[in-house]
Amino acid sequence: MVPKSAVVDSKDWKSDFLAFVSERLDQIEKEYQMDSIDDISKSLFANRSDIMGQAALALIEKKFGHLLDQQYSQCPHCLRRLKAKSKKVKREIQILVGTVTLYRPYFYCNRCQFGFYPLDEALGLSKRKVQPDVQELEAWLAAEMPYETSSETLKRCAGIHVSNHHIHDVANEIAQDLQDLDVCPSKEEITRQIDTIAEGQFRRPILMIGLDGSHAPTRPEPSARKGPRGKGEWKEVKGFRLYLLDSERIIHLISWHQIKSDKELAADLLRIKQAALIPEDKLRICVIGDGAPWIWNRIEEIFPDARMVLDFYHCSEYLYDTAHAQYGKNSQKAQEWVEATLTRLFSNNIEQIIAGIKRMKPYSDLAKEQIDKTIGYLSERTDKVDYGKIKRGGYHIGSGGIESSNKFIANVRLKRSGAWWYPSNANNILKLRCAKYNGTFDRIMAEVKKKNKNELSQNKLGELRLVVDNS
């Protein structure tokens, strides 16, 4: 039999709900201790799912009561008039406020082999028991913390019981088709930020494009291995960050981090450029990164007019390593040489610096090796170390902007004790974290819900699988 509480008369939905609440409160008072506000709060929280679920059911009845009692419908494909195949098909759904049991009619067109529930489509129900509002919260938590912790957080804070495996599956399902453009703010939002900074300034604002990599612990994908799980491997998470400079602060625009090749990451950055999200005519563009070849291999093709800057810290590391190898790590001579060399570096005397290092007579094989390495490093990057000129132009010479993005987006979530990731799953979590950091998570979830609703309305059923109440 269909429970009386599950089917509400459209005329009496409010009175029936109030009667239900009154009855449930009397029951709570009898069954629970009521000696403190803590007791009252916990008793209500323990019953919130039933109470709020009933409230949701009452509101569904108020707005969609005609779909609960619907006897005839039209096939959306052939427009044939259909009679309900079953009038009361049971379905239990989990929403943020509680669990709701629905009994709704099912229609099936034999000609089109198409089955549908008008109520499900109207409500935008997910195929899963857990509905989009809960899925959104699952994805949000999964992006921030381990799946087990996310599950426990949902239970303690919202009274929602979903397994860590469910959260894992939902997060990956939501993120798997996302691309870089999906997580980017709109052109309008980016332009608004630029115009705000540019107001009252005589020079165009500076857009910094930082590129860098970090590492994440990975295991071979299930489809790529045979037998045991496979040996773990640290893979590079490559990323870029676009941000504006405003006095002494930075204004974040876009972050994108993935485990992929430098060619693929460059293609992602090129896509952003081609989508015209960045109004380049309004900006002075500067690209900054460390000495990794993958950063510069293609970036100069994408932004040929941008100023290219080698991160000052990485550059100075080579000078310190040279001084320590030649004069001793803690020697006064090493410190004096580095200070003098850095001064010349800020005076745009890179050619003189290289010439001076070439004239050094190595005191050891280690010194010779480091001297040769530094000469090669600087010689390949002479156009990227004009630090004095760069500073006077208002540009950054440090890559702290992208390094902090690496730390916040990649390291905080992926580098956890005992954690090993399939690259595809790690990339999905990175997509969600980028979306949150870029301020586009809500927009993405709105698109996911819209897509889910469209898929639901077009779903073809090969066979009829119903849990039918024969009453």
Question: Are residue 353 and residue 244 in the same domain, yes or no?
Answer: no
Distances (CA, A) of 331 to 334, 337, 341, 372: 5, 10, 16, 21
pLDDT at 5: 39
For residues 175 and 430, what is the distance between their CA atoms, to the nearest angstrom? 9
Cα 88 to its chain centre, rounded Å, is: 40
Q: What is the mean pLDDT of the chain?
A: 89
- Name the token pair of 391: 């500073």
CATH number of residue 434's parent domain: 3.30.420.40
| 262 and 227 within one domain | yes
Looking at the fold, whether 162 and 15 belong to one and the same domain comes out as yes
Task: Tell me: do 153 and 207 sit in the same domain.
Answer: no
- Angle between helical axes of 423-438 and 132-144 (0-180°, round to 10): 100
Residue 98 tokens, joined? 């509680």
For residues 163 and 215, state if they share a domain: no
Do 15 and 140 belong together in one domain? yes
**Are 160 and 61 in a shared domain?**
yes
Same-domain status, 295 and 340: no
Per residue in 49-83, pLDDT tens? Answer: 889 989 999 899 889 989 998 999 998 888 999 99
C-alpha neighbours within 13 Å on the C-beta side of residue 181: 11
Residues 11 and 62 in one domain: yes
331 and 288 together in one domain: no
Domain count, the chain: 3
Same domain, yes or no, for 229 and 324?
no
- 185, 440 Cβ separation under 8 angstroms: yes
The residues with which 130 forms a beta bridge, in sequence order, are 94
Does 282 share its domain with 337? no
> pLDDT tens digits for 335-355?
999 999 999 888 878 999 999
Determine the Cα–Cα distance for residues 94 and 375; give it in Å rounded to an integer: 64
Range of the domain at 471: 1-180+443-471
Position 201 scores a pLDDT of 84
Q: For residue 243, count CB atoms less than 10 angstroms from its CB and return exposed for 0-12, middle for 13-18, buried for 19 or more.
A: buried
pLDDT in tens, 191-217: 999 999 998 888 999 999 999 999 999
Low-confidence ranges of the chain (pLDDT < 50): 1-10, 460-471
Question: Sign of dihedral through CA atoms 88, 94, 95, 100?
Answer: positive
